[in-house]
Structure formats: C-alpha cells, structure tokens
Amino acid sequence: MLKIDMHSHILPAKLPRFAEKFGYGDFIYLEQREDGKADMIKGKEYFRTIKSNCWDAEERIAEYETHQTQVQVVCTIPVMFSYWAKPADCLELSRFLNDHIAEVVAHHPKHYIGLGTVPMQDADTAIQELERLKEMGIPGIQIGSNINDLNLNEEQFFPIFKACQDLDLAIMIHPWNMMGMESMRRYWLPWLVGMPAETSRAACSLIFGGVLERLPDLRVCFSHAGGSFFGTIGRIEHGYNCRPDLVAIDNPINPREYIGKFWVDCITHDAKALQFILDHQGSKRVCLGSDYPFPLGDLDIGKFIEEGDFSKETVEDIFCHSTLEWLKLDARQFL
Ligand SMILES: [Zn+2]
C-alpha cells in the first residue's frame, strides 16, 4: 500500500547568516557540531538541536522505508517563517528554503512532495512567491496559525488565500508563535497546550471570519488533527448558538457546516482520539502525518493506525487517498 506522510519538516544542511546579511533580526542559523548534529540558533539564543535526518534526504528515505512509507511531504520548520522580517528579506529567505525543497523533490520525485513558505506579512510579496511556487510544480504551502499574532481572517491575508484558490495551491496550517508562550514556559506547555489551542484558533478564525465561506475551493489542512478544535466543537457550536452577537458577526453559518470540508492530519497518538476525529471528518478528510523528525511526532509513522481497529478502506484513505486529494496529485507518480 502506498503510504504518504503529509506532515514532516526538512531544512537545508547549511543556512546563510541572514542576520549578518540583512543587518538585523533573529534569523535562524545552524551551528554544526562535532558529533554530526547541528544547533539551531535564533539570534543569540539556542533554539533546538537537530540531527542529520533533518537535512539528509537519503537518510530520511531509508528511515521511512523501515516504516513502509514511500513518500514524505516536506516543509520547513515553522520557526523559519520569519513573518516579523521586512517582506523583501523574508522573500529572499523563503526562496532559499523553497528552492532547497524543490531540489530535494527533483532528486527524489517518487519519495518527496514539497510545500513552500511565503512572506505572509505582505500579500503582494507572498503572491509573487506563490506564483513562482506554482511554476516550480510545488502543490501547496505551509503557513502559521497566526501571522505576527494576527488571526488568519484579517482582511490583509485574504488576497493570499484567494491566490491559493486561484492557483490551485493547497494550504497546511501549522501552529507556531504560541499564545501564552511567555507565561507557561514550564513543562513544555507551549507545545502541549499552546499548539492545540493555536490550531483551533486558526480553524475558528477561518470559519467565523468567513474565509472558508468566501473561498469554497480552498484546500486547507490543519495540523495535529485540528488541535483542540474537534475536542471543543460542541462548545464552539454552542457559543455560536447562544451568543451570535459575538460569534456570528462575520459569517452566519454554523461552524459544524465546515467539518469535512477541510482536511486534518492524524497526529493524535491515540486510536480512540483518531476514531473521534474520523467520526466527524470521515476518512477522506484525515491524512497520515508524523511531524518527523521531531520527538513530539508520531515517529512510527502511523503504526498505531495499523494496529488499531480501523477498516482497510479507512487506513488506505488515511495513508494515501486523503493526501492525494488534498494536494490534487496522482498515486501513479509515486509508484
Ligand atoms: Zn510539524
């Protein structure tokens, strides 16, 4: 069976010193270590240590083979978005990352699909890069759950979503720049509590802000099984019913109407939680994702699904059909 992991992260082995080049900002750079790993440094602050499976395309393919997974959808690490930078500088960084991903795909077309990144802080610049990505054959982009703390329904982002719909580019929404980051650093809470809330924030913003209503052909996939969205859908709908004066001010349609119109990945680490998502979304709107190569990811690439009590059809939908439909790709190009 074809297995496509639609949520994994990759970086180039080397990054230019963008902060030195542009003369400002906490652009990430990589410090190679003697043990073969690399430290990601943000400004002067240590961010994270990464291993060669973060940049070595062949090593990744071999590791994925041990999980019978032939194809990886790769995108950058959200900390690279740099939406805070000047648009022209963010464009240069985005192009560098996108060119690298396109190169990985070109070298291993049966094993990799790429998602680009664009300067969301400036619509014109973002659309310029979207058009280039389209020409390069990249089928979609990854964006953050908020853009410099602005919600995705802000009118300034609408032309970007419109361009994605017009260019037929899919969108993956990834939590980042987590709410409450400063006040809950202990216990990894930004990752355990903030990230699921961020994804729900993005979903609610796009629904209540009317973006999904205005762009019915936009193909959006939310990370981490939609975060806390599905776990709180009853509350979200009740809020819409009991306080429409607060909730339904920009879109009169019940939020439940949008369930099954967007995609989510399956990263729940829990078969029962996944069944709950499937009950809402249907198997054709749930994609295999792992968050490889990071420790919070499902690094067995869907083993809990293979071992769970799911029908063959459901597993096949999750493992490949849903992602192929989301990205409008044909399975034959990977066989
Ligand atoms: Zn991720």
Q: Kindly give the distance from the C-alpha atom of residue 174 to the centroid of ligand 1, in angstroms, as a whole number.
A: 6
CATH superfamily of 4-11+53-334: Metal-dependent hydrolases (3.20.20.140)
Mention every residue, 6+ apart, whose C-beta is less than 8 A from residue 318: 266, 283, 286, 287, 288, 302, 305, 310
Q: Kindly give the distance from the C-alpha atom of residue 74 to the centroid of ligand 1, in angstroms, as a whole number.
A: 10
Q: Kindly give the distance from the C-alpha atom of residue 263 to the centroid of ligand 1, in angstroms, as a whole number.
A: 15
Q: Kindly give the distance from the C-alpha atom of residue 241 to the centroid of ligand 1, in angstroms, as a whole number.
A: 33
Mention every residue, 6+ apart, whose C-beta is less than 8 A from residue 334: 2, 4, 70, 71, 110, 111
- Calculate helix-pair angle for 123-136, 87-107, nearest 10 degrees: 10
Q: What is the pLDDT of residue 43?
A: 85
Helix (H, G, I), strand (E, B) or coil at 4: strand
Q: Kindly give the distance from the C-alpha atom of residue 6 to the centroid of ligand 1, in angstroms, as a whole number.
A: 10
Q: Kindly give the distance from the C-alpha atom of residue 172 to the centroid of ligand 1, in angstroms, as a whole number.
A: 10
DSSP-derived secondary structure for 26-45: --EEEEE-TTS-EEEEETTE
Q: Kindly give the distance from the C-alpha atom of residue 10 to the centroid of ligand 1, in angstroms, as a whole number.
A: 10
Between CA 271 and CA 302 the distance in angstroms is: 10
Between CA 31 and CA 47 the distance in angstroms is: 11
Q: Kindly give the distance from the C-alpha atom of residue 146 to the centroid of ligand 1, in angstroms, as a whole number.
A: 15
Place of tokens 């034959």: 332
pLDDT tens profile 151-204: 999 999 999 999 999 999 999 999 999 999 999 999 999 999 999 999 999 999
Partners of 147 in beta bridges: 150
**Taking a C-beta distance cutoff of 8 angstroms, is the pair 48, 28 a contact?**
no
What is the amino acid identity at position 2?
Answer: L
pTM of the model: 0.97
Q: Kindly give the distance from the C-alpha atom of residue 91 to the centroid of ligand 1, in angstroms, as a whole number.
A: 21
Q: Kindly give the distance from the C-alpha atom of residue 292 to the centroid of ligand 1, in angstroms, as a whole number.
A: 7
Q: Kindly give the distance from the C-alpha atom of residue 26 to the centroid of ligand 1, in angstroms, as a whole number.
A: 21
Q: Kindly give the distance from the C-alpha atom of residue 139 to the centroid of ligand 1, in angstroms, as a whole number.
A: 18
Q: Kindly give the distance from the C-alpha atom of residue 225 to the centroid of ligand 1, in angstroms, as a whole number.
A: 11
Structure tokens at 43: 């400004």
Q: Kindly give the distance from the C-alpha atom of residue 244 to the centroid of ligand 1, in angstroms, as a whole number.
A: 34
Ranges in the chain, pLDDT < 50: none
Partners of 292 in beta bridges: 8
Q: Kindly give the distance from the C-alpha atom of residue 81 to the centroid of ligand 1, in angstroms, as a whole number.
A: 13
pLDDT tens profile 203-234: 999 999 999 999 999 999 999 999 999 999 99
Q: Kindly give the distance from the C-alpha atom of residue 173 to the centroid of ligand 1, in angstroms, as a whole number.
A: 9
Q: Kindly give the distance from the C-alpha atom of residue 7 to the centroid of ligand 1, in angstroms, as a whole number.
A: 6
Q: Kindly give the distance from the C-alpha atom of residue 196 to the centroid of ligand 1, in angstroms, as a whole number.
A: 12
Q: Kindly give the distance from the C-alpha atom of residue 8 to the centroid of ligand 1, in angstroms, as a whole number.
A: 6
Between CA 269 and CA 199 the distance in angstroms is: 17
Q: Kindly give the distance from the C-alpha atom of residue 76 to the centroid of ligand 1, in angstroms, as a whole number.
A: 9
**Taking a C-beta distance cutoff of 8 angstroms, is the pair 179, 194 a contact?**
yes
Q: How far is CA 244 from CA 59, 220, 251, 313, in A?
A: 52, 25, 10, 39
Mention every residue, 6+ apart, whose C-beta is less than 8 A from residue 121: 83, 84, 85, 87, 90, 147, 148
Structure tokens at 173: 């929404």
DSSP-derived secondary structure for 79-94: GG--TTS-HHHHHHHH
Instruction: Name which of 327, 333, 328, 334 is nearest 142 in CA terms.
Output: 327
Q: Kindly give the distance from the C-alpha atom of residue 313 to the centroid of ligand 1, in angstroms, as a whole number.
A: 26
Q: Kindly give the distance from the C-alpha atom of residue 334 to the centroid of ligand 1, in angstroms, as a whole number.
A: 23
